Structure 1
Amino acid sequence: MISDGFGLASESMARAFVQQQSDSFPPEWASILDNLLVGTTRTRSSSTLVTDSAAGATAFSCAQKSFNGAIGVSRDRKPCATVLEAAKHSGYLTGLVSTARITHATPAAFAAHVVDRDMEELIAQQVIAYNASLVGGRGPTVDLMFGGGRCYFTPMNAGPQLGAESSCRSDQLDLWRFAQQAHGYTAISTRKQFDALAATPLSHKLPVLGLFANGHMAYEIDRKPTEEPSLTEMTIAALNMLHTAATGKNGTLGNAPGFFIMIEGARIDMAGHDNDPATHLRDIIEYWSAVAAVRAFVDANPDTLLISTSDHETGGLTLGIDPEYAWYPHVLGPVKQSADAICAQLRSLVKQPDQLRDSVTTQVLPLVLGIANATSYEVGRIVDAVAQGTKACKHAVGHVVSDRARVGWTTGGHTGVDVGLYAYGAESAGIRGSLENTQVGQLLATFLGVNTTALSPLLAHQTIEQEGFRRNKLLV
């Protein structure tokens, strides 16, 4: 389990928020993660002391250091077999769950091999084995995928019959249809379809491709339960399906030695980039819920190992800023929307300054952020930022809330600090101390009894560069 962008200060923030909600949570109360803490993970990549998610996830998946932006490739730009691929090659079932696009850096690093994380068109082809299995032979490497990112599986200029809001592809490849026709994926995209699948895991055979948003899935604070499943719901459904398939309870042969799954709380990181404390908080609490669900599965299946850590910390979050020795978690409670959602609405008013100011004054601050006594400075800070662009707007909204809560941020990017390492279940007693991120990858491979190094030569043929690709984004 990977809590993207989640540092130890974030854990402190979420714990304190829960504790101040009720007297039933005394100072000694511990979260689900607190109870599983065994050490810390160091996060540097091969190219810098401050990693990005791609290099961070590649350290976990390949047990190798690589450069920022690298997806399943070594520092010398050669494909490295991942623990997921090695597990599949050894007969295990495999799964990926994320609240980001399934082609985004963290899930991609377990099932794809490209030299730049933004080559998501090629990543989408690789995760469903458009040409061939990445570990040799035919067939998909990933048996189950839940997350977002339908746009990278939808052909350019797709017709409405595909139900596509838009395509992120620059070609006419219909990977959604290919996955179903070539590899027999059950492809689902709606909440109704997910509920039907989750309710009857015994009757559904793998592989399954469930993409519930065109881009990233919604922040937990914005999520509409009738439209998208939560991270916890996807986690429980994935565990049930993989377990029943591995044990043969759904009509399969049931001869798999088990399964490997990577579950990512992706949007913790993105809220950190926005310096949006309330949104960051809600996704952390949802991640806690997913961890609790996995722990319950481990209790019922004690031959299972749960490891949870982060690829890096995001935002440089700190609790308490000058001049007070205090911070106020209750400020985060009334916030009803993410800064991302708020700014999407405000940006539509950028050419109507009077209406924009009125909206910020009478709607956003008192009704959405829960600030009834906003100052003219706070109003002006948000209004002025709207004209400067979406990023400036999101930071302004986040900082207005943060200042009131006395929460500080040092950056809109990542930091190089160590992050928490959590473990539970089979063989977890031996996991202790300060580990390099590559050592976490080695632990996964050792527990499963697989060898990623021996498998890497099978990937020598793999295309690792997307034709016509031009980088146009910053690393996140």
Structure 2
Amino acid sequence: MSEKRDLTLDRDEESLRRRDPSKAHKIDSALVKAIVGLLLIAIGAILVWLPPSEKAVGAGSSRFGDWSANLLSNSTPVPAKRNVILMVSDGMGPTSLSLTRSFRQYVDKLPYNDILNLDKHFIGHSRTRSTSSLITDSAAGATAFSCAKKSYNGAIAVLDDDSACGTVLEGAKLNGYLTGLVVRTSITDATPAAFAAHAQDRSMQDLIAEHELGIGHPLGRSVDLLMGGGLCHFLPNSHKQGCRHDDRDLVQYAKENGWRVAMALEELKQEREHHGANQTLPALALFAPTDMPWEIDHSAPSLADMTQEALALMGSASDETDQSFFMLIEGSRIDHAGHSNDPSSQVREVLAYDEAFKIAVEFAKSRGDTVVISTSDHETGGLTAGRQTTKEYPEYVWYPEVLANVDHSTHYLANELAVRASQDKKDVEEFIEQVLEPSLGFDLNKHEKKRIKKHAHSAQDVLADIVSTHAHVGWTTHGHTAVDVNVYAYGADELRGSNENTDIGKFLVDYLGVDLEFVTEKISGIRNKQ
């Protein structure tokens, strides 16, 4: 196991050691006794002073100090390892859960009181604003988690003055942790980027890819597992799948610098089974040129599959090396379904995330050394489970069966329609009758067919609106909203209640035992502009 770095060595003591090495042992002993004594006195005084309501887990500003109290309790042993699984349901608001819960009850013929895996672990909510707006974006939202500080929309682990802020992942790596990022969008997208890279704008994905591999990063490589889409940002612009602005081949760089590179999940699994988990890391697993396909489009691997393999890999590597681990898992495309106002895709993405959360919690329960935290960076789409479709006073209904009958994303169907329209206009009518209506699961009226034909080359918005109208599902925007988002957890009751999004980051800092000020000093001067 990598030795945990001492980030708090007292300078005066070190100076005295240099002057008289023979006194080092005596100083060590006296210093430890003094510190322990002071800590016990301070903790005792706090516990006596606090009223009973404040002593409860999650109460007020004391909630992140419970680990010190646990040290004094024989009934609450502190595990030797402290693994963290942070899950981010990008763009998922409370209505996403309500919609998906009812959808699942309908599809699986479950009773009205059946709930999702996430529901069983609901502990609070999070307020999401950034420094530049009441409505955050994913970059500022993720920076609040990774740096425990607010920043402006677009910021990737940098603050309002564009200075880089140390992240919990970087701090965990300095403390000897294994680290991983698992997403279904590009691995260089805002959420994963904010944990392992520093950029003044989220669009600087070429730079982000370099930082994630440790290129140009003062700490070197901080990530052991990169899993998701986004291959194109690791390939030169001369490559047919490359989208970089330069001719750097980061895949080749990774291979030459000890990374195991996999282009399929099964490939990564075989590496782990053949070489052992520790010898498989660091691993770069990129399964798509950009974002991974939607779950509703029968994408493989699913988020659940990716979570299962990532935990098998990190868990085994942790056991082999006796190192703890920190891992981010993102349900990335919930957000994209919200931006697209596509309710059929939304519920499938949330179900996939819910299954991944279940896998993470079962993993944590089986070990006893792992906490799981799930929250969103923001809500997307202004989703409503109910919609007025007539001028008359509306009925109190929405129809999950409409979403259940749709078998592809509106993006997939719109792309297929555009191909047909570019070949022969006569094919559009045939496509509507033979492909589109069967895929939607309902007959289109004349007005709807006319709208689709008019926008045959770019019909995604039209198709999503038609599906939403039939299901009586509403949207207020194609962007984000300022809605508070839910917090779910296993083993992290300190987050119970109402939180700022930075409180998630503060919990991670305390639980992982990282010193972000030290990390920030170490990375000062990092190039954060492409």
TM more than 0.5:
yes
The 5 Å alignment of 1:9-408 reads 9-23=95-109, 25-132=110-217, 134=218, 136=219, 139-158=220-239, 165-182=240-257, 184-197=258-271, 199=273, 202=276, 204-225=279-300, 229-248=301-320, 254-256=321-323, 258-322=324-388, 323-351=394-422, 352-364=424-436, 366-371=437-442, 373-387=443-457, 389=458, 393-408=459-474
Q: Which runs of 5+ in 2 are unaligned?
A: 1-86, 389-393
The CA deviation at 1:301 is 1.5
Change (3 A) 1:458 1:265: same
Counterparts of 1:167 and 1:220 in 2: how far apart (Å)? 25
Contact 1:360 1:383 in 2 (8 A): no
The CA deviation at 1:180 is 1.6
The CA deviation at 1:198 is 5.7
Change (3 A) 1:317 1:47: same
Q: Which runs of 5+ in 1 are unaligned?
A: 159-164, 249-253, 467-476
Change (3 A) 1:222 1:291: same
Secondary structure of 1:145 counterpart: strand
Counterpart amino acid of residue 151 in structure 1:
C
Counterparts of 1:316 and 1:217 in 2: how far apart (Å)? 24
- Give the structure 2 partner of residue 457 of structure 1: 521
- Give the structure 2 partner of residue 447 of structure 1: 511
Secondary structure of 1:263 counterpart: strand
- Give the structure 2 partner of residue 434 of structure 1: 498
Decide which moves more: 239-248 or 90-99.
Answer: 239-248
Contact 2:125 2:484 in 1 (8 A): yes
Counterpart amino acid of residue 423 in structure 1:
A
Number of residue pairs the alignment of both structures matches: 437
The CA deviation at 1:201 is 7.5
Counterparts of 1:423 and 1:224 in 2: how far apart (Å)? 28
What's the CA shift string for 1:15-67, capped at 9, x where partnerless? 001111244x2122111000010011111111001111111111111111111
What's the CA shift string for 1:278-300, capped at 9, x where partnerless? 11111111001100100011101
Secondary structure of 1:422 counterpart: strand
Secondary structure of 1:95 counterpart: strand
Counterparts of 1:410 and 1:284 in 2: how far apart (Å)? 19
Secondary structure of 2:405 counterpart: coil
Secondary structure of 1:349 counterpart: helix
Secondary structure of 1:386 counterpart: coil
Contact 2:236 2:249 in 1 (8 A): yes
TM value normalised by structure 1:
0.89
Change (3 A) 1:240 1:435: same
Counterpart amino acid of residue 380 in structure 1:
K
- Give the structure 2 partner of residue 2 of structure 1: 88
For the pair shown, the structure with the greater C-alpha radius of gyration is 2
Counterparts of 2:147 and 2:223 in 1: how far apart (Å)? 16
What percent identity do the matched residue pairs reach? 43
Counterpart amino acid of residue 236 in structure 2:
P
Secondary structure of 1:210 counterpart: strand
Counterpart amino acid of residue 318 in structure 2:
A
The CA deviation at 1:200 is 5.3
Secondary structure of 1:146 counterpart: strand
Counterparts of 1:406 and 1:129 in 2: how far apart (Å)? 48
The CA deviation at 1:99 is 0.2
Contact 1:58 1:110 in 2 (8 A): yes
Counterparts of 2:303 and 2:470 in 1: how far apart (Å)? 29
Contact 2:495 2:503 in 1 (8 A): no
Contact 1:361 1:379 in 2 (8 A): no
